[in-house]
Amino acid sequence: MKENRLVVLLGLAGFIVMADNWVVSPILPAIAQSLGVRAASAGILIAAYMLPFGLFQLVFGPLADRYGKSRIVLGTLAAFTIATGLCAAGSTLTNLALFRALTGVFAAATMPISLALIGDTVPMERRQSAIGSFMGISFLGQALSMGIGGAVAYFVSWRGVFLAYAAFSAVVTVVLWRGLAGVRSKESRNPQARFLAPYASLLKHGPSFRTYAVIFLEGIFLLGSFSYLGAVLAERYGLSFLAIGGVMTAFGVAAVIGGQTSGRIAARVGRRSTVVLGLGIAALADVLVLLGAPSLVLTGVGIFALGFGFMTAHSTLLTIATQFAEKSRGAAMSLVTFCFMLGGSLGTGFGGRIATLASLDRVYLVYGAGLALLALVAVPALAQAEMGAVETAQARA
């Protein structure tokens, strides 16, 4: 029960961070109009958040290993709450971009350090189910973010979106502070943790390097596919932001289900086969989205399948990664999140280019083929990692 409570509390922190990650896109026109700038110029707000969000993943991992993961999670979540509240007060594009950058800095810690904390406190036999549940709750926030942001911006204002998120984050911070009280004695610390050495060792270590490469490619094809689902729904069916958010909820619900079932699947067929299964389902999902143009229902089924396939594969990859460096688990999981988000950023960029030169349908054709190919590549790439031939990189650092 204590493990489940911890996972839910950390999942709520992940929920608000992932929701905040994507919330600017649907309210960007409202922000631009309010500040008297072009929507294209206001696009800097997305980059201002994403750049520090990606880079500071690598900073907070070693800090958590040295000073304690619960401290870093709580401290950064409190700072994230303040920065999100400041966004509501942005009066110019410049200061709003600065506030978004600060939000991205502190949001960077939540996902990787929460995963490392789960790795410290949950035994291996229950770890994948815990990670799957945490990731499912977190990505439900991502899936709902467009609908939540669009609804609040429509009925209140874009400033109300940031105020609502800050209020929710403040509540989560207080509850998490109380919930982590009994965890601090179980988490591992390494007072000698260094900043660069763990990353170098992880990338030199064959099984871990290949696992990170799979995660990077997963980010390209899976997050790249997710990024344009809203555009597909708007272009094909002319749905409002509120309706798009409702349909996109299918992704989040499926992610929660995938997180709950992936552990049981891995126990039966092995982690490598579970990754292959998840990537295969995601590839099929892209095909369903591609073929679903005449039918919103078929497209919705594709969105659901993408969420299930994503979480089935990703939670398994995360579980494998928790074995790589027990004394530097914060760094190991930060590198996972960095690779995934970097891949997602590139996948979104490549997808936009494909859509511009061809069409949105072509994005799902290319990325569906990429996911199918990655499922095949994962078989040899993850062989040693699944067999446990993953001597800790920390021991070799």
Mean pLDDT for all residues in the chain: 86
205 pLDDT higher than 90? no
102-153 pLDDT per residue, tens: 999 999 999 999 988 998 888 888 888 889 889 888 878 877 776 777 778 7
What domains, with CATH codes, occur in the chain? 2-182+191-396 (1.20.1250.20)
- Residue 252 pLDDT class (50, 70, 90 cuts): confident
392 pLDDT higher than 50? no
pLDDT of residue 204: 87
272 pLDDT higher than 60? yes
152-163 pLDDT per residue, tens: 877 888 899 899
372 pLDDT higher than 60? yes
82 pLDDT higher than 90? yes
pLDDT of residue 179: 84
pLDDT of residue 391: 47
- Closest among 286, 116, 129, 135 to 190, alpha carbons compared: 116
- Residue 213 pLDDT class (50, 70, 90 cuts): very high
pLDDT of residue 394: 44
What mean pLDDT is predicted for residues 171-199? 78
- Residue 260 pLDDT class (50, 70, 90 cuts): confident
From 195-199, 209-213, 247-251, 296-300, the region with the lowest mean pLDDT: 195-199
11 pLDDT higher than 80? yes
